[in-house]
Amino acid sequence: MCGINGIFGLENLEDPNSTIQAMNDCLAHRGPDAEGIYTDDWVALGHRRLSIIDTSAAGNQPFYSEDRNLVLVFNGEIYNYIELKAELNDVKFQTGSDTEVLLAAYQKWGIACLQKLNGMFAFALWDKVAHQLFVVRDRMGIKPLYIASRGKRLIFSSEIRALLKSGLVERKLDEDGLIDYLRYQTVHAPKTLISGVEMVLPGHYLRISDNEIEAVRYYDLSAAQPVEENLKSIQKEVFNRLQKSVEIRMRADVPFGAFLSGGIDSSAIVGLMASVSDHPIRTFSVVFEEDEWSEAPYSQMIAKKFNTQHTEIPLSVEDFKSYLPEALAAMDHPSGDGPNTFVVSKVTKEAGITMALSGLGGDELFAGYDVFKRMLSLQSKRWVMSFPRGVRTAGTGLLKLIKPGVSSDKIAEILRKDYLDFEYVYPVNRQVLLDAQVVKLTSRKTLPKNSVQVLVGDLLQHGKPGFDLPWLSKVSVAEINSYMQNVLLRDSDQMSMAHALEVRVPFLDHNLAEYVLGVNDNMKYPHSPKRLLVESMGNLLPEEIVNRPKMGFTLPWELWMKGDLKSFCEEHLERLAERRYFDKRELLGLWQKFLRGKVSWSRLWPLVVLEHWMHTQDVD
């Protein structure tokens, strides 16, 4: 795991080495073990290394082909590098690194080598002879990669902060990106909150030459194959694929462990790790003083069952307050989540661990969130749209009167639409602030098109010909490409890499994900969430874990924001309210509604984080 930087098009750039060095310095937290720079007349490339596989200096980057015509800077891991090495048996490898295997794979198969990779990665490969640069992001969007185009110059990096540090990118807010953030507590790729800065989309690469920048999609998760086996065979295949995913993600030359909340997903990962390991697995859990938030009994149960070396991380509000400035400072791009991952990553790293496995992705793949249940319910209620809109609108008014709250507001928003089609209904389910609230907060008369609606509409056009994804699989694809990639994975990356800790996510192995998406709804969600995962695990998980109430790995935000964090929140919201983008009265009124219990904390905390980020990054 590392950080990469680069500039293509050095004309009129006075000192490329100094610029790349400044960008590298900005990523020092991502790679404390080594750094390197390459420059020629065309490109400047920078790298910061966190050594995981072959920790010797031989694996340092930039990495060169034997004839030095190819130069590679690479962030991530190729998990199947051992299998690829066997296919490349005519190559005399000089290191034990996956980096060298990646370069050799490109030399043999060209850019088509991407189809052979199982991993999480963002890399840039410069061909000095062809004067061609490839900038690549992994299939599932696990590793971030940001770009900014300025005329014939393209700047890229693992973090936005490094782009800003180059001095080649303006610190200017993207106003449509702001609307997306208010709607969803994040900005969806390819856009970001910085004007002119974009993300390379998952499963895409850029081919860059002096004449053009071409974006190519090389992988599409929604093009899954239908699975037509019986239930027993499907369960066996899910188990085998997840076990293999866990096993190859345990390949490392450094101490590793796992995050353990005591939920189904993390417990399954820990159980599978224990089943293929000769040594006790090290596990880490955050526990709270407030019993209603603490998952300690469940994580202790799993730790005992699988004989792990378990570390509990007690977190009080005083602890959290002391961590909060550092956690917010670690945010390269703001979101409404993240500090919990910061805390568990910090303690895990301090315990001598350099790589940890996480259960992230299990909910998205196996229908674990409430949004799956809501979308199933809506699918069966399409008859409602036969009523005239006026009748539907009147009904929503009565519903909001009888049962006021966010859920009723969202139902009302859906019933005001012309269609109950997937691409119109799903985006409302994940909104933090509905459009009417965003209009009031910003005083904008018109809002840009909903980014999630655009994203989902695009995804559903790319399925396998003749095979319509099952309804729940459509929800999975939407979840993976919206909330998971643009909140959970981005937060996981920036919060873990703040401590130079690599986090691996076995549920996002593309071989597993493709298979599960082809399974029909009745086998995936016959009567309760994640039944396919639970039953595929056989006797691995205790009944107490399977049937426990879902809590989610979160913090007691509401309690803290009304208590010890109240002044911190008020200070930031008052400062944000003075910015020209917001209606001061509406914004501060929203805070008062929260204090009176009329609005959820999740509507306010992203605004606090936004102001902190804009202030510290000096963004206009």
Catalytic residues: 2
Torsion of CA 175, 178, 180, 186, to 10 degrees: 140
Helix axes 584-595, 435-442, angle to 10 degrees: 130
Bridge partner list, 500: none
CA distance 441 to 510: 40
Contacts of residue 512, Cβ cutoff 8 Å, sequence gap at least 6? 238, 241, 242, 245, 365, 506
Considering Cα of 13, then 18, then 21, then 23, what sign does the dihedral take?
negative
Query: How many Cα atoms within 13 Å fall on the side-chain side of residue 445?
Result: 0
Give every strand in the sheet of 355-357, ordered side by side. 309-315, 282-288, 256-259, 355-357, 502-504
CA distance 449 to 332: 25
CA distance 183 to 439: 10
Q: How many residues does the chain have?
A: 620
Asked if residues 30 and 50 have their Cβ atoms less than 8 Å apart, the reply is: yes
CA-angle at 237, arms to 234 and 241, nearest 5°: 140
Chain-centroid distance of CA 75 in Å reads 15
Strands (E) in 289-435, as ranges, are 309-315, 355-357
Exposed (0-12), middle (13-18) or buried (19+): which is 220, by Cβ within 10 Å? Answer: middle
Report residue 173: phi and psi, to 5°. Answer: -70, 140
Q: How far is the CA of 214 from the CAs of 128, 136, 210, in angstroms? A: 18, 12, 11
CA Rg value for the chain = 24
Task: Read off the tokens for 619.
Answer: 């963004």
Q: How many other CB atoms are there within 10 angstroms of residue 296's CB atom?
A: 16
Exposed (0-12), middle (13-18) or buried (19+): which is 170, by Cβ within 10 Å? Answer: middle
CA-angle at 77, arms to 76 and 78, nearest 5°: 135
| Single-letter residue type at 573 | L
Q: How many other CB atoms are there within 10 angstroms of residue 269's CB atom?
A: 28
Q: How would you write 410-460 as a 3-class SS string?
A: HHHHHHCCCCCCHHHHHHHHCCCCCHHHHHHHHCCCCCCCCHHHHHHHHHC
